[in-house]
Amino acid sequence: MALTDTLIKNQNHAAYSKSALLSALSVFCLFLGAAPATQAQTYPDRPLRLVVPFPAGGTVDAVARNVAQKLSESLHQPVVVENRAGAAGSIGSVAVARAAPDGYTLLMGTASTHGTNPAVQKSLPYDPVRDYAPVALVASTPYILVVHPSVPANSLTELLALAKAQPGKLNYGSYGSGSSNHLATELFRAISHADIVHVPYKGGAPAMSDLLAGQVQMMFDVFTTSGPHIRTGKLRLLGVGAPRRSALAPDAPTLAEAGVPGFDASTFFGIFAPIGTPRSVVMRLNEDINRALKTTDMRERLAAVGAEPGGGSPELLGQTVVTEVVKWTQLVRDRNLRFEP
């Protein structure tokens, strides 16, 4: 049964369907088209706030601060980054959803806040589609499959053969039960039928520490944290989780071409405003962000944190959210996954 064509209803998780989410997105687009343009004449006339729903110092924070700097230059107003972490990104996300829809409070959303959270949280306090006006897709970074050098597999084909020959012997680390890289690995398992064991950690740092020590054999991670260890030989890269090869590792095959057809697991970063934000304001921000993403220094800054530039219309970001929510909610339902509160 196709992930994007099935009505998703589960008493233990948020219920979404492609048709319902597309309807919500269509209503949003119609609303934007009818929004008054008068605010464009004065916007912005005071500082903006960009809420990051995760702690300072991480990849999301770094991407947000780069965007904030560029917007400050183009809007001629300060764009202040505010870290409001907690509840897997829900605290900051709710704060923006409830803010005035005037373009002065924005959210740096991610594949967690606007993709996997609806699939794993029983009572999500916000709706990733209906509560936000998508502004622009800023960047994305694919999940990559890395293994400890002690694993006798130099390719994905060899890893799958090893898992088949020794079912239940290989284990993989995750940032936590229900985390985005946990779901990425569940998608990998669903397509490849690999019999591997989940070892959840309380965050990416302890998971990476045990992977480097060989306590777990494999993990889906991002270039930001795994890249340095790949270059020093402490980890082995077997494939990239995006539909196409990454410019950050052009010689590495995608997992789809290496033996797991249809696999696609990436994390994205997007700017969102509260629903009801005027179309004129959304488009002003969208145009400035797209212009910034084309600059050499912005592309270099994103590459430094393992991300590739995005861009495109607000509707593209909205469709990305719809696709992600449906995909992960369907996966959780089909595999009957349960998560600790």
pLDDT band at 5 (very low <50, low <70, confident <90, very high): very low
CATH at 218: 3.40.190.10
Q: What is the pLDDT of residue 339?
A: 84
Strands 144-147 and 218-221: antiparallel
Provide the 10 A C-beta neighbour count for residue 185.
23
Backbone angle region of 314, left / alpha / beta, with phi > 0 → left and psi within -120 to 50 → alpha: alpha
pLDDT above 80 for 10: no
- Same domain? For 59 and 135 the reply is yes
One domain for residues 281 and 186: no
**pLDDT bracket for residue 13 (50, 70, 90):** very low
As a residue count, the chain comes to 341
| pLDDT reading at 17 higher than 70 | no
Is the pLDDT confidence value at 1 over 70? no
Share of the chain above pLDDT 70, in %: 87
Task: Report the percent of the chain where pLDDT is more than 90.
Answer: 82
- Tens of pLDDT, residues 136-167: 999 999 999 999 999 999 999 999 999 999 99
Does residue 323 lie in a domain region? yes
Q: For residues 215 and 288, state if they share a domain.
A: no
Distance, CA of 60 to CA of 58 (rounded, Å): 6
Whether 245 and 148 share a structural domain: yes
Q: Would residue 5 count as lying in a domain? A: no
Q: Both 175 and 40 in a single domain? A: no
Predicted confidence at residue 20, as pLDDT, reads 52
Identify the band that residue 89 occupies on the pLDDT scale cut at 50, 70 and 90: very high
Which of 237, 258, 279 terminates a domain? The answer is 258
Q: What pTM value is reported for the model?
A: 0.86
Residue 92 lies in a domain: yes
Residue 213 within any structural domain of the chain = yes
Q: Read off the pLDDT of residues 283-341 as tens digits, 9 standing for 90 and up.
A: 999 999 999 999 999 999 999 988 999 999 999 999 999 999 999 999 999 999 988 65
User: How far apart, in whole angstroms, are the C-alpha atoms of residue 250 and residue 256?
Assistant: 15
Shared domain for 74 and 169, answered yes or no, is: no
Residue that terminates a domain, selected from 191, 224, 258: 258
Mean pLDDT of 276-280: 97
What pLDDT does residue 23 have? 55
Q: Tell me the average pLDDT across 259-267.
A: 93
Q: Is residue 91 part of a domain?
A: yes
* Count of domains for the chain: 2
Residue 114 shares a structural domain with residue 148:
no
- Mean pLDDT to the nearest integer, 166-171: 96
The pLDDT assigned to 102 comes to 97
Q: Alpha helices of the chain — where are they, by DSSP H?
A: 18-34, 59-75, 90-97, 117-120, 156-165, 180-192, 204-212, 223-231, 255-258, 279-293, 296-304, 314-334
Q: Looking at the structure, tell me whether residues 168 and 104 fall in a common domain.
A: no
15-24, 49-58, 111-120, 219-228: which range is least confident on average? 15-24
Encoded tokens for 138: 């800023």
pLDDT digits (tens, 9 = 90+) for 251-261: 999 999 999 99
Between 18-34 and 279-293, two packed helices, what is the crossing angle to 10 degrees? Answer: 100
Q: Are 106 and 135 in contact (CB under 8 A)?
A: yes
Q: Give the per-residue pLDDT at 247.
A: 87
- Kindly list the distances between the CA atom of residue 314 and the CA atoms of 134, 168, 280, 309, in Å, as whole numbers in the listed order: 5, 44, 12, 15
Q: How far apart are the first and last CA of the chain?
A: 29
Domain's final residue, options 258, 275, 291:
258
Domain range enclosing 285: 18-142+266-334
Average of per-residue pLDDT across 19-37: 51
pLDDT of residue 3: 31
- Residue 199 and residue 153 share a domain: yes
Give the strand pairing for 308-309 and 144-147.
unpaired
pLDDT over 90 at 7, yes or no = no
31 in a structural domain: yes
Average pLDDT over the chain reads 89
Q: Are residues 194 and 327 located together in one domain of the fold? A: no
225 within a domain of the structure (yes/no) = yes
- Domain identity same for 29 and 129: yes
Same domain for 162 and 67: no
**pLDDT at position 15, please?**
47
Tell whether 340 is covered by a domain. no
User: What pLDDT is stored for residue 129 in this prediction?
Assistant: 95
Q: What is the CATH number of the domain that holds 74?
A: 3.40.190.150
